């Protein structure tokens, strides 16, 4: 990997976000030259303070990715583009703003693909999501199911923006040869993840509540089965995908260790060594109860393998939250 990334000029959008910030950290270890693009509303000073690393090879710039002229300018002179920027949120946010989400995410993707093509970018990373899959699928969901059926209306604005992004990337690869890696991401967690109702991030929310002595609230019966991939495992997978499989063909990157939401809450309480209660509430959002994502393709094309078990990753994440409460 070092030979591939050393001294490469890499643009990372969504750089102040959870995945973007960890990717920056990893690429600086590989001696890449990073331009970190953050939204105009983001404070560069606060972004610098929040990042656990300092480097002369890191430059932070404010960019409005909804404006093509700014996308064209920020991609100029870069070798590789990693596009993490997206409008996202919890389930209620996705239900309330489907058009806003679809418009923003689609426009960002199209702007960045066109700007990258015009500026002769060597490689492009498109981050898609396992939300492109409908809920009523077989137990082992492979990449072929990404466009087969309609999506859940509750979150279709976000999911369709990801489907559109994948189609656009494939068209740019076919017509212009823009080498693009497409990663369909599962649930991810780790240090610097953000808790809160608006984000609906289950692991940081559970950890925060447990450490603060609050009850953990679960919507539904808690029998929904999920998997969670530790952030450093995701980053390694993404960088390998860019290097080895930038052919505009989607690849699932997700954990294969499954747990119910109720069991997850109990595990967090045990690891934080607290005595919180787990309470259940009724909700008007019902998602798939059980769905397992196949990563056979990722294993085959990039040799993907998880390093962290869920418990090991949770322990590191809990340590971070203890230090930053």
pLDDT value for 290: 72
Q: Match 């002229």 to its residue by tokens.
A: 69
Contact 173, 248 (CB under 8 A): yes
Phi/psi class of residue 190: alpha, beta or left (left: φ > 0; alpha: ψ in -120 to 50)? left
pLDDT value for 284: 59
In CATH, the architecture of 2-189+230-254+291-307 is: 3-Layer(aba) Sandwich (3.40)
Lowest mean pLDDT among 151-165, 180-194, 220-234: 151-165
Tokens of 176: 């212009």
Of the two residues 324 and 53, the one the predictor is more confident about is: 324
Per-residue DSSP letter, 174: H
Write out pLDDT tens, residues 18-71: 999 999 999 999 999 999 999 998 887 777 766 766 788 999 999 999 999 999
- 147 pLDDT band, cuts 50/70/90, is confident
Contact 219, 91 (CB under 8 A): no
pTM: 0.94
Angle, to 10 degrees, between the axis of helix 261-272 and the axis of helix 310-323?
50
**How many other CB atoms are there within 10 angstroms of residue 103's CB atom?**
15
Lowest mean pLDDT among 10-24, 25-39, 71-85, 130-144: 130-144
**How many other CB atoms are there within 10 angstroms of residue 89's CB atom?**
17
Tokens of 179: 């080498």
pLDDT value for 107: 98
Domain ranges of the chain: 2-189+230-254+291-307
What residues have CB less than 8 Å from 305, skipping those under 6 apart?
299
d(CA 65, CA 47): 18
With a cut of 90, say whether residue 222 has pLDDT above it.
no
């Amino acid at each position: 990997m070092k030979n591939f990334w050393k001294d490469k000029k890499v643009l990372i959008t969504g750089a102040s976000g959870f995945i973007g910030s960890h990717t920056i950290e990893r690429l600086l270890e590989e001696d890449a030259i990073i331009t970190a693009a953050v939204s105009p509303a983001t404070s560069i000073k606060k972004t610098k303070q929040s990042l656990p690393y300092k480097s002369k090879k890191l430059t932070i710039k404010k960019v409005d990715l909804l404006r093509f002229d700014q996308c064209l300018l920020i991609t100029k002179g870069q070798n590789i583009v990693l596009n993490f920027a997206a409008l996202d949120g919890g389930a209620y946010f996705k239900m309330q703003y489907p058009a806003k989400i679809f418009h923003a995410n689609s426009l960002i993707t199209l702007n960045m693909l066109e700007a990258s093509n015009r500026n002769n970018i060597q490689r492009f990373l498109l981050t898609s999501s396992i939300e492109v899959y409908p809920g009523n699928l077989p137990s082992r969901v492979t990449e072929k199911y990404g466009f087969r059926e309609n999506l859940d209306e509750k979150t279709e604005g976000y999911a369709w923006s990801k489907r559109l992004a994948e189609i656009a990337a494939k068209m740019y690869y076919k017509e212009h040869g823009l080498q693009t890696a497409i990663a369909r991401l599962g649930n991810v967690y780790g240090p610097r993840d953000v808790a809160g109702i608006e984000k609906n991030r289950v692991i940081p929310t559970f950890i925060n509540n447990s450490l603060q002595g609050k009850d953990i609230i679960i919507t539904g019966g808690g029998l929904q089965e999920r998997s969670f991939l530790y952030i450093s495992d995701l980053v390694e997978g993404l960088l390998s995908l860019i290097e080895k499989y930038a052919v505009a063909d989607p690849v699932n990157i997700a954990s294969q260790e499954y747990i119910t939401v109720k069991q997850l809450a109990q595990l967090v309480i045990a690891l934080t060594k607290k005595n919180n209660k787990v309470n259940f509430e009724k909700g008007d959002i019902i998602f798939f109860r059980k769905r397992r994502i196949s990563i056979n393709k990722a294993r085959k094309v990039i040799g993907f393998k998880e390093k962290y078990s869920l418990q090991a990753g949770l322990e590191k994440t809990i340590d971070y939250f203890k230090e930053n409460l």
